[in-house]
Amino acid sequence: MKHNVCRLLMLLLCAALLLPLCACQSGGAEGGEASVGVTVGQTEGEGDIPPALQPDGGKLRIGLLDINEYEPASIYLYYVLQGLKNEGWIEFDSLPFTETSMDVVAMVQALSEMDLGPYVEFVGDAAYYSEYQSEEEIVQSLRAHIDSEEGLDIILAMGTDPGLFMQRHSDLDINVLVCMATDPVASGIIDSTEDRGDPQVWAQVEPLPYYRQIKFYHNIIEFANIGMVYTDPVVVALSDYQRGAEELGVELTGVLVPEQGSMSNEAYADLLRSTYEDLIARGVDAYMLNADLVTSDMDLASLIEPFLAAGIPVFVQDGENYVRDGALLLVASTDNQGVGQFVAETIARVATGTQPGDIPCEYVSSPYMSLNLDTAKRIGFRPGFEILLSCETIYSSAAEGGEAA
């Protein structure tokens, strides 16, 4: 279970590595009665962003596009919902899911069946996985929603590939908010943080998160040669890691492998295990698990067993679930609660008439740590008290359910 900890120690531990935190836009208090509502036109010129009906008196309608089921995306969306509630744009006593109990498409479908108040609704049949539907089918469905009487106002594109998908179809008249993309500028989703290139596109930018992340890891456990296996150097922010490794004076041994494509999980797992064993033979003494490789239906424990058997720490790029399943440590590049509030405030601005391309998109997360104590014991790593105190979550078989606070 998650618990509150003193983040001051974490900030002190990593102060030399942190960039100044960006201030999020301050949000209003949680909304009161939402049974009547006001229109966007009635709020023009006001300093804050109170909830408002759309100019036609209707609700802001939101869809979503992702690649496939991915637990970090569920956590991300969950906190966007909490942010919208904080701002008074949606109302609920409880949600029919937790942060991790549903995938994002199922979450949107569940939300579409709820009365969230007069301001926002999620459109269940405008939530897509590009891995399970053809591009043509998704575009046709989006176009039908956009052209319908109800319309579709925002699509949440959850990652680099979904953002590029929407960029390929920029003729669609819809506001696109790209979330969770590793580097929206390098991947070409936006031109820069100052000029997006398309007024209807916004993309969350976390400045150099993985450059900072590799320094965090090295500060906790020194290593001389860290391995990485990836399918796309842009998606895994390879250049950020290389820059950090160079400044640390360590070697980064990267291996490019093909995407899984039509390969079975078993065949792809065999390819990864073989690659991992080769990395160990080449002398890596740490490994960075990149989030685009291992899907939720793969057995992570067996995949990373060669590293653990050799006493090599496995760090995680993104995804606390990987720590739960056996990786050693996550210093998260995304502060989900803070980012969720940031995205919610962005949605509020779009809902009240601001072009996405005119909305600030940079956000620097505060550090968030998760540790697997069983793995630490197995590889001989003894975390200091300050590390234990700084962890938001500690997983251990000594605690009920394999998780401890």
Band (403; pLDDT cuts 50, 70, 90): low
- Residues contacting residue 228 through CB under 8 Å, at least 6 positions apart: 236, 238, 241, 252, 253, 254, 255, 287, 288, 290
How many residues comprise the chain?
Answer: 405
**Structural domain spans, the chain:** 56-206+335-358, 209-332+367-402
Which helix (H) or strand (E) covers residue 121, if one does? strand 120-129
Closest CA to 304 of 313, 317, 291: 313
- Kindly report the backbone phi and psi dihedral angles of residue 222, in degrees, each rounded to the nearest multiple of 5, phi listed first: -70, 140
Q: Is residue 7 pLDDT above 50, yes or no? A: no
What CA–CA distance (Å, rounded) separates 159 from 181?
4
| H-helix segments, 249-359 | 265-281, 300-309, 320-324, 336-351
For the segment 3-19, the average pLDDT, to the nearest whole number, is 39
Distance in angstroms (rounded) separating the CA atoms of residues 268 and 212: 30
- Selected from 3.40.50.2300, 2.40.50.140, 1.10.150.20, 3.40.50.1580, the CATH number assigned to the domain covering 56-206+335-358 reads 3.40.50.2300
Question: DSSP alpha helices (H): ranges in 176-264?
Answer: 209-220, 238-248
- Per-residue pLDDT band at 152 (split at 50, 70, 90): very high
Q: How far is CA 327 from CA 5, 141, 233, 304, 374, in A?
A: 22, 39, 22, 8, 10
Token duo for residue 287: 């490994």
- Percent residues over pLDDT 70 in the chain: 86
Cα–Cα distance, 282 to 294 (Å, whole number): 22
3-class DSSP assignment, residue 284: coil
Residues 6+ apart with CB under 8 A from 130: 65, 66, 67, 68, 138, 161, 162, 165
Q: What is the pLDDT of residue 290?
A: 87
Within 10 A of 140 (CB to CB), how many other CB atoms are there? 12
Write out 305-332 in H/E/C secondary structure.
HHHHHCCCCEEECCCHHHHHCCCCEEEE
Measured distance CA(291)–CA(131) in Å, rounded? 16
pTM of the predicted model as reported, rounded to 2 decimal places: 0.73
User: CA–CA separation, 201 vs 321, rounded Å?
Assistant: 30
The two structure tokens encoding residue 116: 């969230």
Question: What does the pLDDT look like over 12-68, one tens digit per residue?
Answer: 444 333 333 333 333 333 333 333 444 444 434 434 689 999 999 999 999 999 999
For 93-150, give the DSSP string: S--SS-SSSS-HHHHHHHHHTS---SSEEEEEEEEEETTTS-HHHHHHHHHHHHHSSS
- The amino acid sitting at 161 is D
pLDDT digits (tens, 9 = 90+) for 70-92: 888 999 999 999 999 999 999 99
| CATH 3.40.50.2300 for the 209-332+367-402 domain, yes or no | yes
Q: How far apart are CA 148 and CA 154, in angstroms?
A: 14
Residue 372, beta-bridge partner list: 395
| Between 96 and 2, the higher pLDDT residue | 96
Q: Determine the Cα–Cα distance for residues 293 and 296; give it in Å rounded to an integer.
A: 10
